[in-house]
Amino acid sequence: MVLYSPRWLFWYPGWAGILSGLVILGMIYPGPLKIGSLILDIHTMLYASLLVIAGFQSLTFGMIIRELGFKLGLFPPNFYVRTLDKYFKLELILGFGVVLIIFGVLGLVWSLHIWQLTGFGALDPTAIMRIIIPTSLLFITGIQSMLFALAISFINLGVRKRNNVIADQGASEVQLR
């Protein structure tokens, strides 16, 4: 059943998680957000970043499931599968992941620099977490992007190998006749 409805199980919830998490992060990043007596701050940022991570994982998993279902011949390609097949380049997605990881590492270096400026003493948790949470999100999303790229490549590699074996068998049968 999962192969037949990845859009509703993974894709739409994934986008909802990513977009709502990013909106919340964007609203809280400059400083605490007060809504009536409710104050949203770094703890909410942390959960919003987890929402983005879970959403991204759901989205990429749904794309993997859809690609696998198509490659297994369970359903015809749709817009998403055709787009993924047309524009997916392992190196491009791996490069995107590396860029995200680099920004994550730069955030780590920036945080360490701020800590060094205090003589490696106590830090204001609210200020430092405004750096650490978004850059950790970038780092983790970079790793997820790279794993997604590898998974799609493995699916396509298996299909290419199977098609080559079938083609070789067909050629052998022609030679025998």
Q: From residue 111, give the alpha-carbon distance in Å to each of 28, 122, 125, 139, 140.
A: 19, 13, 11, 14, 17
pLDDT of residue 83: 79
pLDDT of residue 146: 96
Report the C-alpha gap between 130 and 46 in whole angstroms.
9
Binning pLDDT at 50, 70 and 90, where does residue 174 land?
very low
Binning pLDDT at 50, 70 and 90, where does residue 29 land?
very high
Residues above pLDDT 90, as percent of the chain: 64
Mean pLDDT of 8-29: 96
Query: CB–CB of 149/90 below 8 Å?
Result: yes
pLDDT of residue 90: 87
Per residue in 141-156, pLDDT (tens digit) is 999 999 999 998 888 8
For 69, residues 6+ apart whose C-beta sits below 8 A from its C-beta are: 3, 4, 6, 75
Query: CB–CB of 67/3 below 8 Å?
Result: no
Q: Is the pLDDT of residue 160 over 70?
A: no
Mean pLDDT of 114-127: 93
pLDDT of residue 169: 52
Residue 153 three-state SS: helix
pLDDT of residue 82: 78
The Cβ of residue 59 has, within 10 Å, a number of other Cβ atoms equal to 22
Per residue in 45-71, pLDDT (tens digit) is 999 999 999 999 999 999 888 888 888
Query: CB–CB of 54/17 below 8 Å?
Result: yes
Q: Is the pLDDT of residue 7 over 90?
A: no
Q: Is the pLDDT of residue 134 over 50?
A: yes
Question: 38-52, 78-92, 121-135, 144-158: which range is least confident on average?
Answer: 78-92
